[in-house]
Amino acid sequence: MRAPRGIGPARAAVFFGVLAVLPELDLAHWLLNMLVFTLMFAVMSSAWNLLGGFAGYPSLGHVAFFGIGAYAVVLWFQHHAIHNGYEPFLLLPLIGVGVAVVGLPVAAIAMRTRADVFAIVTITLLFVVQTLAFNLRGLTGGAQGASIAAAPFPSATYERPFYDVLLVLLAIAMGLTWAAMRSKVGLSLAAVRADEDKAAGIGVRVQAVKLLAFCVSVGLTAMVGAIWAYYQGFIYPQFAIDPLITVSIVLMTFLGGRATLWGPVIGAFILEMAQQYLAYSLGGSQFYLIGYALVFLVVMLLMPRGILPSIQEWLRRRRRRQVVDAPATPSGGLRTADTPLTPRRTAPHVKETRT
């Protein structure tokens, strides 16, 4: 569904404006920490959505690239001194592009498969990278982990730089998604998702858009991995390449709504904040996982297609009901111009994107 002209940018401005001023409200550290992790997952869900949502390729191995990004920043700064706290952030574009390039041959091979087979191939990738991280001890420290110098930010505002950088990264991820949706890249991806064989048959640049979606998606994910590693200061293979991270970003995207601009962000804000809040509330017990699962189950029961598509569908039906009853047409027949299904707009009637 397309928002009326001007609503989209206004919505984005309000969203990012509110998030930009939130840290000024003297929030508690635990709350800022929660927001940092929420933004991380929002970026990763948006990135995953480019591939799993728009292209219809459900990668379950994205965390492999998250881990590569994490190790990239740690390894770099094991050999280079950090002169000021922002230096690791300057490395992010390089990590993003580098991992996107590394992802290209991976995508070329993995994307010869589809759907469930693709998911299995990407899970394999995840475990290959995790095994490498455990066993390349000279490089990664293996199970002993690897560390990066602590970020030299004042403890009172320690989270703030990470928060700000993640906010910028979220804007970039959503900006890229928005640009894709409004371009023929998005149109091509939607055709691939709907019927790849037919899309290829009518000359859609299937391979190109698939590879593009994969590379941009893993590049963004790797950048989040790098920020996470710097934020944590010390990383272990089982946490840097944790299958649960992939599971979370997939769940968040499904919850909010696949192939939409805002769906993954909504999903990340609900699930990650719920998870973090429940974990804080219920302490070290694992009970928070039950609460976390309940949140997901309730939403999916009520809105099986995800929050945003369900709301859009509801609005669409509501709008249809408001249309003056049209004369009946023969069963299966072509409706005439006098019996529109939707309110008529000024010609040509071309819907451009879903938001």
Partner 1 sequence: MTALLEVANVSRSFGPMHALRDACLTVERNSITALIGPNGSGKTTMFNVITGYLRADSGHIRFDGHDVTAANPAILYRSGLSRTFQQARVFAQLTVAENLVVAGGFSWAQLFGRRVGRQDRKRAGELLDEFRMSHVADLYASELSYGQRKLLEFAAVLMSKPQLVMLDEPTAGVNPTIIETMERHIRQLHAAGITFLIVEHDMNFVMRLCDPVVVLDQGQEIFVGPPGAVQSNPAVLDAYLGA
Three-state DSSP string of 204-225: CCHHHHHHHHHHHHHHHHHHHH
Residue closer to partner 1 by CB (options 74, 191) is 191
Stretch that binds partner 1, among 161-169, 246-254, 273-281, 343-351 (CB under 8 A): 343-351
Residue closer to partner 1 by CB (options 86, 195) is 195
Which phi and psi angles does 147 have, rounded to 5°? Answer: -125, 160
**Which of 5, 318, 321, 351 touches partner 1 (CB under 8 A)?**
351
Distance in Å, CB of 251 to partner 1, minimum = 22
Residue 273 touching partner 1 (CB under 8 A): no
**Which of 322, 328, 330, 346 touches partner 1 (CB under 8 A)?**
330
Angle between the 184-201 and 206-232 helix axes, to the nearest 10 degrees? 130
Please tell me whether the peptide bond between 343 and the residue prior to it is cis, using omega within 30 degrees of 0.
no
Stretch that binds partner 1, among 101-109, 133-141, 279-287, 326-334 (CB under 8 A): 326-334
Residue 328 touching partner 1 (CB under 8 A): no
Residue 205 touching partner 1 (CB under 8 A): yes
Distance in Å, CB of 221 to partner 1, minimum = 22
Question: 236, 278 in Cβ contact below 8 A?
Answer: no
CA–CA dist 91, 151 (Å, integer): 14
Which residues lie across from 235 on neighbouring strands?
146
Residue closer to partner 1 by CB (options 137, 344) is 344
CA angle (42, 188, 125) in 5-degree steps? 55
Residue closer to partner 1 by CB (options 217, 246) is 217
Binding map of partner 1 across residues 147-186, x = CB under 8 A, - = no contact: ----------------------------------xxxxxx
Stretch that binds partner 1, among 35-43, 248-256, 282-290, 334-342 (CB under 8 A): 334-342
CA–CA dist 355, 348 (Å, integer): 20
CB burial of 86-100 (b: ≥16 within 10 Å; e: otherwise) equals ebbbebbeebbebbb
CA 68 centroid distance within chain:
17
Distance in Å, CB of 339 to partner 1, minimum = 8
Distance in Å, CB of 176 to partner 1, minimum = 12
Distance in Å, CB of 274 to partner 1, minimum = 29
Residue closer to partner 1 by CB (options 6, 203) is 203
Hey, which residues between 208 and 247 contact partner 1 (CB under 8 A)? 208-209
Number of residues that bind partner 1 (CB under 8 A): 46
Name the nearest CA neighbour of 98 among 69, 139, 70, 120.
69
Question: 240, 98 in Cβ contact below 8 A?
Answer: no
Hey, which residues between 184 and 203 contact partner 1 (CB under 8 A)? 184-188, 190-191, 193-195, 197-203
Question: 235, 71 in Cβ contact below 8 A?
Answer: yes
**Which of 80, 137, 319, 335 touches partner 1 (CB under 8 A)?**
335
What DSSP line would sit under 14-75, residue for residue?
Answer: HHHHHHHHGGGG---HHHHHHHHHHHHHHHHHHHHIIIIIIS----S-HHHHHHHHHHHHHH
Q: How many residues does the chain have?
A: 355
**Which of 78, 135, 157, 339 touches partner 1 (CB under 8 A)?**
339
**Which of 85, 98, 243, 340 touches partner 1 (CB under 8 A)?**
340
Question: Residues interacting with partner 1, by CB under 8 A?
Answer: 181-188, 190-191, 193-195, 197-205, 208-209, 259, 330-337, 339-342, 344-345, 347-353
